[in-house]
Structure 1
Amino acid sequence: MSLYLVFDVGNTRLKWAAVESTQNPADRQKKGWAYSGSISTKLLASADHRTELADYIAKTIPKPDAIGFCCVAGSEAIANLQSLFPQWNDVSWKQLQGDSIYPGIRTLYADPVKLGADRWAAVIGARALATSNTLVISAGTATTIDLLGSNGVHYGGWIMPGLALMQESLHTNTAQLPLVESDPRQAQSGGFGLSTTEAIGFGCEAAQFGAITRAVQLAKEINHPIERIWIDGGNAPILAKQLDLLAKQCGLLIEPIEGLVLRGIWAWLLKAS
């Protein structure tokens, strides 16, 4: 039985998962893997934390047949990641990038090399799950929205500050506005704020919701009406709650899913191996 180890090195979090050859990335379980974890990406810069992470993973799973990863945290993070398992120096590391080929889909990006690897991995993950006209949303440090047609064409997307970055920007660049932090555990459909805190929190959420609504409209205008929205990331519960009304109005399936980037790396690794 083959075993694959996959890493998603984001700006904020490093996530990993181990999957077996008997598993299928098209499986829509909450998680398609038995072993997984997450740490702050900043800890990857510490030799002690790298040793601790490597020891934990090596004791948790057998030696993998291949390791796949994508990274948006820079070349130093890649070097630190690939130093994790000296005892597995014969295991092949495969890096998914914005121009990596995946059968059945292609991007219209002018320069695919500059397409974020995490966005491309999420698009691949979405394609592995369904073949409908889809918005692929990652709601993390940044919020990214990508359009994937049922024909397998990635029509591009948008990148905007995530909720925390929006809120921090208002606090940092104004004299009196407080720092507001949205809590995914208390997700609610916000109206007009009746306090400054609510005005900031609901306003930032409305900005994200407005972008997604416009993306749905634009997809319809270019003859790729959205049937499904996959949404991943730390702010997914907040945005998914906000999208309930849109789903009812437009007949959409809103599907929060954990580890969409990891799933995409996994699907790609199966084709690349």
Structure 2
Amino acid sequence: MTDLLIDIGNSRIKWAISADGQLRGPGRAAAHNALEGLFAEWLQLTERPSRVRMVNVAKASVVNRITAWLQVHWELAPELVHTPSDGDVIHVAYSQPHRLGADRWLAMLGARAAGCLPACVVDCGTAITVDVVDSAARHQGGLILPGFPAQQAGLARLAPGLPSIQLPTRTPFLATDTAGALASGHIFGTAAAVQGVIRRCLAGSSERLTPVLTGGDAPVIARYLELDVRLRPDLVLEGLASLP
């Protein structure tokens, strides 16, 4: 029996197939406006999944289109995962646990399943979320800062005269043109912020935390950090796979 796991983020949709609580290979990604290509990939699967689990932090319209496709082609209704209110598995620090984003809860669950606890979990997407969870799976709290897409969108709106750029995987620190300066600022500034936050989390914990980076921009950010981290790009999907 296999499961189709779907992580609908603010910018992209990541998905994977799992069996017996483990991913069958790395997650794949598609943009919100590329659903037809995503559906074509699913039709090429050698084994039709028996269950679909999905987490969503984006517009309901994306969920609705995927749900309709699953019903028509496979007669499956996806299970939409939410953060539980009873502190099951991960004890959430929020006074109202259900208000914690389900993607953050699943990332911590994935870190637990991967044997990474106690951990500082950093999910590098449109928003960068940081959550500390101790060895007893108790969430200590977290914070949110803008990721690369949010920074670029903010500058485009507030400073429209600046050029639009595609972020390179590597860039010099001191740039000699405006596009390069934007790329350097995004990458080095974000890496410095993430590194500073991780170090404060490490210093403030009574346990030896493992910094774990996940999300689409994690490989780029990890390259510019001056500390040891574990890179697990599909931690939210791993969390989905670990659900009973």
Normalised to the residue count of structure 1, the TM-score between the two structures is: 0.77
Q: Partner residue of 1:29?
A: none
Aligned-pair CA distance for 1:176: 4.3
Q: In the alignment, does 2:233 pair up with 1:258?
A: yes
Structure 1 vs Structure 2 CA RMSD: 2.7
Identity of aligned residues (%): 25
Contact 2:11-2:126 within 8 A present in 1 as well:
yes
Contact 1:219-1:226 within 8 A present in 2 as well:
no
Aligned-pair CA distance for 1:71: 0.6
Q: Partner residue of 2:184?
A: 202
Structure 2 unaligned residues grouped into runs of 5+: none
Contact 1:167-1:181 within 8 A present in 2 as well:
no
**Alignment of structure 1 residues 1-273 onto 2, 5 Å:** 2-21=1-20, 24-25=21-22, 32-34=23-25, 37-44=28-35, 49=36, 53-54=38-39, 56-86=41-71, 87-89=73-75, 91=76, 93-99=78-84, 103-174=88-159, 176-184=161-169, 187-188=170-171, 190-243=172-225, 245=226, 247=227, 252=228, 254-268=229-243, 271=244
C-alpha distance after superposition, 1:175-201 (max 9, x if no partner): 6433343222xx25x534454444332
Q: Secondary structure at the match of 2:69?
A: coil
Paired with 2:40 and 2:179, the residues of 1 have a C-alpha distance of 43
Q: Please, which moves more after superposition, 93-102 or 120-129?
A: 93-102
Number of aligned residues: 243
Contact 1:19-1:35 within 8 A present in 2 as well:
no
Aligned-pair CA distance for 1:139: 1.5
Task: Flag the 1:175–1:63 CA change in 2: closer, same or farther, 3 A.
Answer: closer
The residue type paired with residue 208 of structure 1 is: T
Normalised to the residue count of structure 2, the TM-score between the two structures is: 0.85
Paired with 2:230 and 2:52, the residues of 1 have a C-alpha distance of 28
Structure 1 unaligned residues grouped into runs of 5+: 26-31
The residue type paired with residue 111 of structure 1 is: Q
Paired with 1:38 and 1:107, the residues of 2 have a C-alpha distance of 28
